[in-house]
A and B are shown apart, each in its own frame.
Chain A
Amino acid sequence: MKRDEIFAVVRSNIMNILDDVAADAISEEVSMRDLGADSLQIVEVVSRSMKELRLKVHRTDLARARNLSELLDLFEKAASEPT
């Protein structure tokens, strides 16, 4: 799975969960906190994205992601691993 495809899923879920976030405000450099998400909304975005992408990443690893780029790294790595 390509990084762009993963990012598209995450971006779509951010826009569905968070109010009033424009698509062009969502870049790899920002965190969901920067976009105004609370802790529950962050888990919701991550949970929905993993479900949609059929990925599993341990919560401890997810908690270390400081921005979307690091989250995408985790998803990309999980997508490349055999299930």
Chain B
Amino acid sequence: MLDLAPEVRALIRAAGRGAMIPAADRSRGPVLSRGEVERLLPHRDPFLLIDEITFVDRGTPAIVCRCDLERSAPTFAGHFPGRPLWPGVLQVEAIGQAGLCLARLLAGSPGDRDAPGFALTHILGAEFIRPVRPAGGLEIVSRLLPDGLFTILVGQCLQQDAVCCVAAVRGINQELES
């Protein structure tokens, strides 16, 4: 297992305590629709988990996305019958997809699916603090940290402003061939 840098540890701890981006900021930024998200990510139903992008901070850099849980009805039906919970692995995947959207937005023009991104190599850690229920949308926050030939993402899933999950993942950077 990898040792986490103090900066990453601090971010993970802070992300468990509350929203990484204040609620007022999360809803004020530019909105990219699902169609525009499809131009950033190769994922498609039933595995495209990002429905819109509500906030992009190119400085930090950080992104906020929304996931429409109504589309996850088949998942909730089986996980679990009579006690629907959105799986933790999907929450981690959603944080990764949000981070990839941000990496591609930073690297290229909006909608540039060929812009460099990263491929997931490590799950550094994850905590599932509260269950994600079918009612109410889900917000996904992801922050990027450069790490040599890799990129680290620290993210969280929020439901009604409460932190449901915090995860840190790492991916190997993809570069345009020279």
Contact = CB atoms under 8 A, between A and B. Distances in A.
A47 B177 contact: no
Contacts of B178: 58, 60
Interface string A48-59: 101100000011
B175 A47 contact: no
Nearest to A60: B178
A48 B148 contact: yes
A50 B172 CA distance: 15
A46 B172 CA distance: 12
A70 to B, nearest CB: 17
B86 interface: no
A25 interface: no
A47 B121 contact: no
Interface of B: 121, 147-150, 172-173, 175, 177-178
A23 interface: no
Given A51-B148, A60-B178, 14 more contacts: A40-B121, A43-B149, A43-B150, A43-B172, A46-B149, A47-B149, A47-B150, A48-B148, A50-B148, A58-B178, A59-B149, A59-B175, A60-B175, A60-B177
13 contacts: A40-B121, A43-B172, A46-B149, A47-B148, A47-B149, A48-B148, A51-B148, A58-B178, A59-B149, A59-B175, A60-B175, A60-B177, A60-B178
A49 B175 CA distance: 19
A40 B150 CA distance: 11
A60 B174 CA distance: 11
Interface string A13-50: 00000000000000000000000000010010011101
Nearest to B148: A47
